[in-house]
Amino acid sequence: MAGYLTDKDKGKCYGCEACVQICPKSALKMEEDDEGFRYPILNKDLCVKCNLCHQVCLYENMPVRYGKDKYVFGGYIKDEEVRFESTSGGAFSAIVDTFCDDNYVIFGAESKGLLVWHSYITDKKNLAKFRKSKYSQSKMGKSYQQAKDFLNSGKKVLFSGTPCQISGLKAFLRNTNQDNLLTVEVICEGVPSPLYIRKYEQSLKKKFGALIESIDYRYKGHSFLGHHKWDFEIMRTTVMMNDNKKKVIEKDRWFNPFWYIWLKHLMSRPSCYECLFATTERTADISLGDLWGVHIYCMELYGKNGGSSLAIANTEKGKSVLKKAEGSMYGHELRFEDALRYQGPMRKHIEMNPKREQFMQDLKSEMDIEDINRKWADKPSLKLLWQKYVWGNRQKAFVWSIRNRK
């Protein structure tokens, strides 16, 4: 099938950047379109028509995927500090500790302000920068080439990213020996347009003269009932004021327009609505995500533990590492069918909201973020508020824990 490089159909480009990194003449570079998403642009004067870019295009040549004999684990890391620094249950950290025992390098997404990019570390002590979901498509830089060089030098390489980024790496590596490579993907529901967060920052700049220093989309702050979790309640933004003092802004999930707009699929990358990776067949050795449905089919993993992870081993290599990692975690094996029931992105891609084009026109306009939120973000229903404050998953889990107390 013809990909974006041939027909410029934006639904056929995942932004994985494999084509850019494989080009021997640096004839391709990534540039933003008017929606804030990055696409490869060809400099025809530099192109020698070697066709390598087409060979690694995920739409034209899909890497090998693994669909059978999965091993599924649900649980959380026993190290409480690490668990509360993680988006879910800290399974990523447990896997890193297991695989990266000697002569290793770890790749992941780090962020500063509004920027998100892939980098690597050679010491697990610096892993914190790769924890926490970034909810933004990271720039890949030269990470694929760097991973290849490390593999060729004999190092162990753990590479983490979204499914399309992992597939981009696999396509780029081609015939490179991958015995020392472990790939870990996040179960992804699409990447939002960066224009939204930029407008949010513009609003903060007007109000406080401040720029965003960091965003924790899934902050596990404390409440009198324990740590927040499962409804990913708090989005915590830290801004730097003109007087060099920091200000922290917290938004409750139920009153946060970002979640309403993104989950209504109004601002995702076009290819996310046609994603070929939203299936039970995966490219990575291990898939990680939230243990959605935990309050229904494995209640013992719910509660004040600060979150639980779903870890799915798609390969024998992934299974071997994951089973060893379980030694530092609390949890147990799960049936894949049960986990799949609550993991939409592993069954099918998201559907484009029919009003997406209208929303994006507003986002690209001079309309400020407050007006956009008023127009497009729903207010929480009485049913949702009842579930949050009166009789929701947390309250049901509390009753369950009382009834099952030994």
Element (H, E) at 41: strand 38-42
What's the confidence (pLDDT) of residue 386?
72
What's the confidence (pLDDT) of residue 190?
96
Class of domain 4-56: alpha beta
Element (H, E) at 128: none
What's the confidence (pLDDT) of residue 248?
92
Q: To 5 degrees, how large is the angle CA 334–CA 180–CA 184?
A: 40
Extract the tokens encoding 104.
Answer: 């290793």
What's the confidence (pLDDT) of residue 65?
86
Residue type, 251: K
| Residues making up the chain, counted from first to last | 406
Q: Which residues are bridge partners to 309 per DSSP?
A: 75, 290
Q: What is the DSSP letter of 139?
A: B
Extract the tokens encoding 297.
Answer: 């089919």
- Would you give per-residue pLDDT tens digits along the chain (406 residues)? 678 999 999 999 999 999 999 999 999 999 999 999 999 999 999 999 999 999 999 999 988 888 888 999 999 999 988 988 899 999 999 999 999 999 999 999 999 999 999 999 999 999 999 999 999 999 999 999 999 999 999 999 999 999 999 999 999 999 999 999 999 999 999 999 999 999 999 999 998 888 899 999 988 876 655 555 555 568 899 998 877 889 999 988 778 999 999 999 999 999 999 999 999 999 999 999 999 988 788 888 875 567 899 999 999 999 999 999 999 999 999 999 999 999 999 999 999 999 999 999 999 999 999 999 999 998 777 776 776 666 666 666 666 566 666 5
206 CB-near residues (< 8 Å, 6+ apart) = none
* CATH among 3.30.230, 3.40.640, 3.90.1200, 3.40.1710 for 71-189+284-346: 3.40.640
Please indicate whether the domains covering 4-56 and 71-189+284-346 agree at the CATH topology level.
Answer: no
Q: Where are the domains of the chain?
A: 4-56, 71-189+284-346, 194-265+354-403
What's the confidence (pLDDT) of residue 406?
58
End-to-end alpha carbon distance in the chain: 59
Long-range contacts of 393-402 (CB under 8 A, 24+ apart): 393/230, 393/231, 393/295, 393/302, 394/225, 394/230, 396/295, 397/295, 397/299, 397/302, 397/303, 398/303, 400/299, 400/302, 401/303
